[in-house]
């Protein structure tokens, strides 16, 4: 084993980008949270990634609708997510809100 493949690194980059951008968006919205986790699973086609299932788990007492708005905005501006979308990778986006 010689570490992650390039495609695995791309998927990890998506997870890192989503959590970073969500933190920025949440701060601007004054949306507090205790914990933030991104879970990403990718389906590889013959050559490259065909689809991704991304779940962002947010532990917070904030109103769920505000969390969903922050997540929607995150997915609109996350550079790696935009790159995946423009490359034709299907992204199934989910946000799980866990009460703190």
Q: What is the mean pLDDT of the chain?
A: 97
Structural domain harbouring 34: 6-99
Pair of tokens at residue 5? 């493949």
d(CA 51, CA 48): 9
Confidence of residue 91 (pLDDT cuts 50, 70, 90): very high
Residue 61 covered by a domain: yes
d(CA 25, CA 70): 6
What pLDDT is attached to residue 2? Answer: 87
pLDDT exceeds 90 at position 29: yes
Count of domains in the chain? 1
Residue 30 covered by a domain: yes
- The tens digit of pLDDT for each residue in 49-89 reads 999 999 999 999 999 999 999 999 999 999 999 999 999 99
Residue 1 covered by a domain: no
Cα torsion angle, 33, 62, 99, 12, sign: negative
pLDDT exceeds 80 at position 23: yes
What pLDDT is attached to residue 36? Answer: 98
d(CA 57, CA 36): 6
Contact 51, 90 (CB under 8 A): yes
Residue 80 covered by a domain: yes
Residue 37 covered by a domain: yes
CATH number of the domain enclosing 21:
3.30.300.20
d(CA 76, CA 68): 12
């Amino acid at each position: 084993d010689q570490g992650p493949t390039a495609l695995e690194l791309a998927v990890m980059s998506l997870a890192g980008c989503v959590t970073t951008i969500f933190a920025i968006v949440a701060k601007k919205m004054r949306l507090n949270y205790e914990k933030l986790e991104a879970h990403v699973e990718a389906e590889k086609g013959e050559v490259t990634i065909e689809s991704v299932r991304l779940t962002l788990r947010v532990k917070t007492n904030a109103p769920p609708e505000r969390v969903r708005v922050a997540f929607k905005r995150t997915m609109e501006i996350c550079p790696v997510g935009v790159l995946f979308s423009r490359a034709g990778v299907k992204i199934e986006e989910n946000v799980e809100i866990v009460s703190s």
